[in-house]
Chains A and B, each alone.
Chain A
Amino acid sequence: MTLNKLFVIILVYKQTKMNKTVTMQNLKNGLIHFLSHTIGAGVLLWMFALPAQAALELEISGGSAIQIPIAILPMAESGSAQSGSRLHDIISNDLRGSGMFRIINTSGMPALPTNAAQIKYTDWTALKAQGLSLGEVQQAGGNLKVSVQVMDVLRQTALLQLTYTVSPSQYRHVAHLIADQIYEKFTGQPGAFSTRIAYVTKVGKRFTLQIADYDGFNAQTLVSSNEPIISPSWSPDGSKMAYVSFEKKKPIVFVQSLYTGERKIVANFKGNNSAPAWSPDGSKLAVVLTYGANSQIYTISADGSNLQQVTKSSAIDTSPAFSPDGQWIYFTSDRGGRPQVYKVSASGGSASRVTFEGSYNDGPRFSPDGKYLTYIRNDGGAFKVAVQDLGSGDVKVLSTGSQDESPSFAPNSRTIMYATRVGGKGTLATVTVDGLVRQRLSEAGGDIREPAWGPAQAAPK
């Protein structure tokens, strides 16, 4: 029913109720009456609305802040809770390295609070702090009870109240967990500080595949050999590790359980078996075989069955990586004359080129959120870590080394770890995806290479 019809019906009803004869003149008068009241009411409403319109409006476009200023205070430690490292230092390093936080220097403060009641907020707003972390560590039987409060300095409210009871050996781990919580509270993204990494060290002639905290501490050996070990790859659930070992005098793909240490050969075909990469569901691996003649991409079930060829070309196809949705395999190929990144359907088919800038782009790895692709680019003779925004296609070179290799995304897609060479030795470094913060991880000694960042679900220690 149209509004006009409804209006006429209302008028007719009103006229009838008033015992008036419904004539065109009456309708006309009614219309005028109605319109005058409507306009009057509108004017009144407009007048009442005036004060709201009179308020000032200020447009603010963009923002120039890139880091959140936060103070991480030393925690009160009681009894034998003291240990060699200090919780607040570990938390500070984590947050600083993420590039998202600016850690406020508190060394000049006369007295630091250890609980919320002692906080004098004006002191912290004067230091431009937006967040404040404080707490205590107590001995609880053979364990440590860690209580942490994170305060919103600007609103003067508690943001986080965390309590952990852990064994003394998990001292660093609990600090990473706290850093994860703080990171997520302020950025909305999960932290990646309690994750683990895998890398290969070479000491003398001995190759060792190690698993450590993301910052290189608490390293543990998974496998060791006098023959090269390369290409470690985490299963999506973090329970298994695939890698290539030359222990049988040829490259063979192994999968080893991190729980039991049990390992099995997944790909030991004729020729070379290399570059394993897990599918997102963990059911299969993409591998590179020279089974036919030249290096080609294949998929194989995690138990070593069901081998399927994905690429069929006369070129060298290598370094495969599944897209996060599992639909595509990105890989390096020299089919165009130079190493470039291509993509092909995970079930095979024709490949299409992904990278067009530069003469050398190799070793693609996806960010877990699927927004970025990282690879090594030959940048004026130097091999550097580059990141490509898959939405816009923009490419940015992030690292500054000359022989950087094996880039790998953190589970939160914010940071990339890679191997670089310093003083003739390989070491690990990280760079934020925006390129703003770079840091080198502690050097455990030896030649470190082939890093792989583990998934969010950390493997048991």
Chain B
Amino acid sequence: MKIVLSPQDQVIRKRAAMLSVLMHVLLFLGMIFMVDWKAVHVSPSVMEATLWDSLPSKQPSKPATKPVEPTPPPPPPEPKPEPKPPEPKPPEKVAPPEPQVKQAEQEAEIALKKREDEKKRLLDEEKKKELEQKKQEEKLKKIQEALRKQEEEDKLKKIQDAMRQQDMDAQQSAAAGAVDPSVLNYYMGLMSRKIRSTVNSGLCPVTNPELLVDIQMTNSGDISGMPKLVKGSGDAVCDDAVIRAILAAKPFDMPDDPAARKKMVDQIRLKFRPRS
């Protein structure tokens, strides 16, 4: 079966597709960033060499806990990548010639600078990334919010449509006279009992004449205007007693079902046999 969508539904469908694509892109980006972050943790221990302890002014900063780009690794001054630094006994331990020390210091300074630059660059990059991530998150939030709103609107619309449809159905069924007979019978029975309890049959002739009275009900169960005597008993007191009984019995219970209620709000003909 071919489903034909309304223009409104088509717009909604396009929006949903775009959002879906956007979400996928964001997911993909997120995955890439997460992989990079993991890579930074691969070899932080390489930076633990404390060859620069001899430098009085500049203490090597603690290894960054944040991910650091593994390349290029700083050249180790000693081939021993001992994790534990040796005791501070440089004069006894090493006594390199002057020019060699200077060169080493220069190299170390360069390396340090490079390292700091690299650190700075990495920090900047990191900040950038964080900023971008925040932006993305905000964007995502906005999208999610928009989606949520759209969903709520859709839900509300659906409910409204359903209610409209229900009303239309009720109106149609009422117009078509589709009334549940059991509901109608129940409320008509209540009306009959209530009126019967107020009819003073002793005021009517023993010949038990038939009376016909039309009443027009209101939605609230009241009687609109005065009951209309269509066929009298031939006895004015009896006629009056019956009309009084109808008025004394109101208001009547009315059904909640709109169709049944509408039916009862129509004119009702009451047929009396007061002496039965």
Q: Which residues of chain A have a CB within 8 Å of any CB of chain B?
A: 54-68, 100, 128, 130, 152, 154-155, 186-188, 391, 434
Contacts and interface: CB of A to CB of B under 8 A. Distances in A.
B276 to A, nearest CB: 4
B200 A61 contact: no
B196 interface: yes
Contact of B268 (A56, A67, A68, A188): A56
B192 A58 contact: yes
Most A-side CB within 10 Å, residue of B191, B204, B226, B237: B237
A433 to B, nearest CB: 10
B11 to A, nearest CB: 47
Q: How large is the interface on B (under 10, 10 to 19, 20 to 34, 35 or more residues)?
A: 35 or more
B268 to A, nearest CB: 5
Contacts, number: 90
A178 to B, nearest CB: 19
Interface string B246-272: 011000000000000001101111111
Contacts of B268: 55-58
A63 B236 contact: no
Contact of A62 (B177, B191, B269, B275): B275
A117 to B, nearest CB: 22
B248 A57 contact: no
Interface in B211-251: 214, 226, 235-237, 244-245, 247-248
B235 A59 contact: no
Contacts of A186: 237
Contacts of A188: 203, 235-237
| Nearest 5 pairs of A and B residues by beta carbon | A63-B199, A188-B237, A61-B276, A63-B201, A154-B247
A134 to B, nearest CB: 19
B132 to A, nearest CB: 74
B120 to A, nearest CB: 90
B159 to A, nearest CB: 35
Nearest to A189: B237
Given A55-B266, A155-B247, A188-B236, A60 B203 contact: no
A186 B269 CA distance: 25
A127 to B, nearest CB: 11
Given A128-B248, A155-B247, A188-B236, A62 B273 contact: yes
A67 B271 contact: no
Contact of A59 (B192, B197, B199, B226): B192
B202 A434 contact: yes
Contacts of A128: 248
